[in-house]
Chain A
Amino acid sequence: MGGLRSLVETLGLRPLRRHVGRTLLTLLGVSAGVAVTIGIDLAARASIRSFSEAARDVAGPARLRVHHRPLALPESLLHRLAPFEDRASLHPVLEAAARADSANGTPFTILGVDVVGDPRIANRATLDAASAGGAGANAGANLADPLAAARRLFDPDLLYVPAPFAARIAPRSDSLDVVVGTRSYRFRVVRFEPSGAVSPPSAGIAFLDLAPFQERFGRLGELDWIDVEPYPGTDPASLRAAIAGTLSGDLTVEAPEERALALERMLSSYRRNLRALSLVSLVVGMLLAYNALLASVLQRRDEISLLRALGASRRLVLLLIGIEGILVGIAGGLLGVALGRGLAVGALALVSRTIGDLYARSTPAPIALDAGAWAVGVGLGVASAAVAAFGPLRQALRVRPLEFARAGHFDAPEPRFPVRRLLLAAAAAGTALWLIAHPDGFVPGLKIWGYVGAGAALLAGSLVALPAFTLLVRLARPLLARVWAPAGRLAVATALASRRRLGVSVAALLLAYSIVWGMASLVESFRATVDEWAGATLRADLWVTPQSRAGSPAEGTMPAAWRARLAALPGVADVDAFRVREISIGKDLCFLGAGETAILARNGFLPLVGGGDAGPILERMPGRRTLMVSEPLARRQGLRTGGRLALDTPSGRREYEIAAVYRDYSSDRGYAVMDRSVYLADFGDSLVSTYALYAAPGASREQVGAAAARALGPNELIRVTDTRAIREEVRRVMRRTFAVTDALEIVAAIVALLSVLGTLAALVLERTREIGVLRAIGAARIQIVRALLLEGVLLALAGLLLGALTGSLLSAVLVHVLNRESFGWTLTLATPWARTLLLAAILFVAALLAALPPARRAAGIAPREAMSRG
């Protein structure tokens, strides 16, 4: 054992210190990949956790919830559930979206609850604080007058806010203006320490007593849901069954987590895509580590050969060389997690903003680095180092005893025409092409084909990297020999000799550039398609919405009576009153929309999936139970034109015929839209979410907007937005959505460039004697520099050309397969030529710059190195 230990110490560990640059490069490759993967995951988790935690906080500790989403419950339902009060406590709840301070203030949720009995808020300290005088009073103050104390407790102006959240929205004042819908309300803040039920400090929730909530926000006689908290000893499942038995068929009793789960499901595509993208950095980092480990094996080939000659088994060689991979994997994993945490802090704002833009309001939770993240990080580090070490280890095991007598740095001979490799590449490219033509994949319904296609495209590119690089160098030989001889000849010769090593860097550059190309094309396709769609469909000139709206189009409502006031304004040709509500279809959270379809048909253009305008269909919708469904919803639910969809209405479950499937890019959650007349009849809800105003020909938008604001009065907190601003906002949202992918592309590109630098630096190190010989027989420094730079040029050219080809294939997969599968949208493939070419130029120059330090080092090699023996 002692001998083994000495061997490990001297031949396994000492090289790590001796070649500290190479060790650091391997470490960098592994840790960069781990950092990006962990960082993005931590950021996504923090964003999504805030989201689902908010849902859970709203739910409180209740085990069951009775609701009728999207409809309100009648308050009288509490009486019907009264027989269950000996087995469970019942807590009625109302919910409203609000903003603190002003129309642009922090968004949060106000829950209307019974402040005395509700477990989310009721604790001794809270009640003492409130009854002792409300805001600013000390807990446990003297309660001399119980009646006065009770009156204060139910004071309609008291808003109960968990202290950590109160510190954010009302840090200094005890008074807080709150915008709900189109109105502003002033409350006095009662801070309370959350006691388990409302746990995370980020939770943006405040509480109002039920009665003032109903009164202030126009919800008299209504509840949004009733939480049911079984007493100890009561079986929740049997209680659920008993309650369900007494409810009419369209009311639902379910576990509150189901809503949180539905929210998480809604975000799963986004999260999956982020994860896939971050895994690419892991692969590029792995290539960097592969190159560094291969350099290690090649540099130590003599040593391995000698060891083998002295009787070392292959297993010992495996241990001595593999220990580098293991240690670097562990250290890279740990470093990666630490770096990933820093990255997550940067990415959190981007990811949260995107989630807020696309899905729902999200106040990011703090980044939580738990033991699981460390374990995953180290696991990823070791796994990626193991994969990266596989090839180099195989190379090490092939070294024969006494091979050092004829050692050279050059690669093992490759077959001139690598049939197997090319066949595999053709199969991978064929798979990607087949999936582009058949986006539903080999087994429809499985949401993996986008990833399979993207993986196949990248695999095809990576496999072709080496033969294509070899071909390019051979093709360039006559030109280089003529124009830049002798450096050109040298560059060709050495590039061919080290083609396998250089091929890995070509693959790294190829991967990075193809990802940049693919993502840029996807973004451009989104931009072009959505721009065209927004131009065609957003025909209204002005949009009137409640100022309190922070994310979901279902937030905040306006009275129906405003329609007549807006329609009567001079310069207004048409008004469309549009209502949006969040509904569940199956396990999906989506939107129900109700608009004046005849007006839309008259003024707008709604493109149908498969082509054409929905105008004639929209004209026929008033008075008929028909729906138009958006493309993402139709894809997710398998809905088709002519099919039927059942929705819960206050008068029971109703069936609607699907009149058409239309293209919509406003939400990947999807819309089912009916005519307002049908909605009013079936749902009895006259509230309006958005008024779309069509200006008369020649009327000024600015004047019409100002008139609308005036007509509704200064007390109504509305936002009048010009369509041009909406289109700009759509673009802004898109830019923000893809900002995180930009960041990931940059990381991948940097790792790829490091791979170029690492490869060339390692090659220079290996070629020290060879360069010394060249210097000895008359090569000038500049010739050496030029030869190495030309190798860099060949490498960069091959990487970028192949990257463009692979990127084209990848972009088609992303647009036609992955996007369709994840979001359900049809996009037209567009390539941002200027951006991709500019990026190619930047990467090309960066690759040359990466080649400069090794080239300078090469130029500094003394000719006497040629005389070194062995």
Chain B
Amino acid sequence: MLPESQEERPALGSPHAKERHGTIAELSNVTKSYPASGEEVHALNGVSLSIESGEIVALVGRSGSGKTTLLNLLGTLDRPTSGSVRIQGIETQDLAEEALLTLRRQTIGFVFQFFHLFPHLTALENAALPLWLAGRGGPDATVRARELLAAVGLDAKADRPAGQLSGGEMQRVAVARALAMSPALVLADEPTGNLDQANAETVLALLTRLSREEGASLVIATHSEAAAAVADRRVHLADGRVTRIA
């Protein structure tokens, strides 16, 4: 059961919230092409965009407009064909794989449409996973993961395998996981796309509130008007180009 209102949930402690200023991510004239059936397909074409600290940005557009490709580039999951992607001032194009991994681990959190939890791990373990991967396996990690689960209202289900949770609960665990390392940037790909309206609202509210409390910038790729409505800015994409920023 979800708590009655968002206010009842504990706020995250200030020690994890980081003071951040300026531009967190910056894309300059980025193109991304893929070979498909012998032809080059331009998924992104000359996109320039900057994400400021603490800002919530919605990427909107039809399927195939380039939202996910843009998220991949922001998340350093992929490299641009040309142009520049800078995360916290660091040019990612020139970074070696291991450096990119460290940057991603320390700076970026992800929320996926299909949750992508590890169903056999408990909710707590899922939330602690990024900490483990960063070499923080001790009690601190457990405390932090438990704190995040409490923040998303799942402290009572912390020890339950993720596979046994409902869709909304799974996505709340995913939010907790995304914030575990106190990232500067949270990237959410259709975070409510697989949820009913009530759960979608809850998850969206949690995502925005906790991102703000953590001082993280949030980029949401979405079709949903409701999701786009929570953003400070909306970036409209069509055919791999930014058509409008509102």
Which residues from chain A sit less than 8 Å from chain B, CB to CB?
Answer: 405-406, 408, 410, 481, 485-486, 489-490, 493-494, 496-497, 769-770, 773-781, 783, 862-864, 866-867, 869-870
**B residues near A774, Cβ cutoff 8 Å:** 129, 133
Which residues from chain B sit less than 8 Å from chain A, CB to CB?
Answer: 68, 71-72, 75-78, 97-98, 101, 104-105, 109-110, 112-114, 116, 118-121, 125, 129-130, 132-135, 137, 163, 167, 177, 181, 189, 194
**With contact pairs A406-B167, A493-B125, A866-B110 given, residues A486 and B133 touching in the complex (Cβ less than 8 Å):** yes
**B residues near A869, Cβ cutoff 8 Å:** 113-114
Alpha-carbon distance A368/B214, docked complex (angstroms) = 78
In the complex formed, the residue of B with least CB distance to A494 is: B120
Alpha-carbon distance A863/B116, docked complex (angstroms) = 13
The A-B contact count (CB < 8 A) is 85
Contact B113 A864 (CB under 8 A): no
| Nearest Cβ on chain B to A356's Cβ, whole angstroms | 57
| Nearest Cβ on chain B to A491's Cβ, whole angstroms | 12
Contact A770 B116 (CB under 8 A): yes
**A residues near B181, Cβ cutoff 8 Å:** 778
Partner of B121, one of A485, A493, A776, A777: A493
**A residues near B110, Cβ cutoff 8 Å:** 773, 776-777, 866
**With contact pairs A485-B132, A493-B125 given, residues A778 and B71 touching in the complex (Cβ less than 8 Å):** no
Contact A779 B116 (CB under 8 A): no
**With contact pairs A410-B120, A493-B121, A866-B110 given, residues A776 and B77 touching in the complex (Cβ less than 8 Å):** yes
| Nearest Cβ on chain A to B107's Cβ, whole angstroms | 10
**With contact pairs A496-B120, A770-B116 given, residues A780 and B98 touching in the complex (Cβ less than 8 Å):** yes
Contact B177 A867 (CB under 8 A): no
In the complex formed, the residue of A with least CB distance to B178 is: A777
| Nearest Cβ on chain A to B181's Cβ, whole angstroms | 7
Alpha-carbon distance A13/B112, docked complex (angstroms) = 33
Contact B75 A486 (CB under 8 A): no
Partner of B130, one of A490, A493, A770, A778: A778
Interface secondary structure of A, over-half rule: helix
**B residues near A769, Cβ cutoff 8 Å:** 116
Alpha-carbon distance A543/B105, docked complex (angstroms) = 81
In the complex formed, the residue of B with least CB distance to A485 is: B137
**A residues near B77, Cβ cutoff 8 Å:** 776, 862-864, 866-867
| Nearest Cβ on chain B to A488's Cβ, whole angstroms | 9
Contact A770 B114 (CB under 8 A): no
Contact B120 A489 (CB under 8 A): no
Contact B104 A778 (CB under 8 A): yes
Closest A-B pairs by Cβ, 7 of them? A778-B105, A497-B120, A486-B132, A485-B137, A864-B77, A863-B77, A773-B116
In this complex, which of A486, A774, A779 has the most chain B Cβ atoms within 10 angstroms of its Cβ?
A: A486
**With contact pairs A481-B137, A778-B130 given, residues A867 and B125 touching in the complex (Cβ less than 8 Å):** no
| Nearest Cβ on chain B to A735's Cβ, whole angstroms | 49
Alpha-carbon distance A490/B163, docked complex (angstroms) = 16
**With contact pairs A485-B132, A497-B119, A867-B112 given, residues A777 and B137 touching in the complex (Cβ less than 8 Å):** no
Contact A783 B72 (CB under 8 A): no
**B residues near A867, Cβ cutoff 8 Å:** 68, 71-72, 77, 112, 189
Partner of A783, one of B75, B113, B121, B133: B133
Alpha-carbon distance A497/B162, docked complex (angstroms) = 12
In the complex formed, the residue of B with least CB distance to A779 is: B133
Contact A489 B163 (CB under 8 A): no
Partner of B133, one of A410, A778, A864, A870: A778
**A residues near B97, Cβ cutoff 8 Å:** 781
Contact A408 B112 (CB under 8 A): no
In the complex formed, the residue of B with least CB distance to A767 is: B118
**B residues near A406, Cβ cutoff 8 Å:** 167
**A residues near B105, Cβ cutoff 8 Å:** 777-778
Contact B135 A486 (CB under 8 A): yes
**B residues near A486, Cβ cutoff 8 Å:** 129, 132-133, 135, 137
Alpha-carbon distance A777/B133, docked complex (angstroms) = 8
**B residues near A485, Cβ cutoff 8 Å:** 132, 137
- Given contacts A493-B125, A776-B104, A864-B77, list 5 more A-B pairs with CB under 8 A: A405-B194, A410-B120, A770-B116, A867-B71, A870-B114
| Nearest Cβ on chain B to A695's Cβ, whole angstroms | 75
Alpha-carbon distance A770/B75, docked complex (angstroms) = 17
**With contact pairs A777-B105, A867-B68 given, residues A493 and B120 touching in the complex (Cβ less than 8 Å):** yes
8 pairs, CB–CB < 8 Å, chain A vs chain B: A408-B163, A485-B132, A494-B118, A776-B77, A776-B104, A778-B105, A780-B133, A866-B77
Alpha-carbon distance A770/B76, docked complex (angstroms) = 17
**A residues near B109, Cβ cutoff 8 Å:** 777
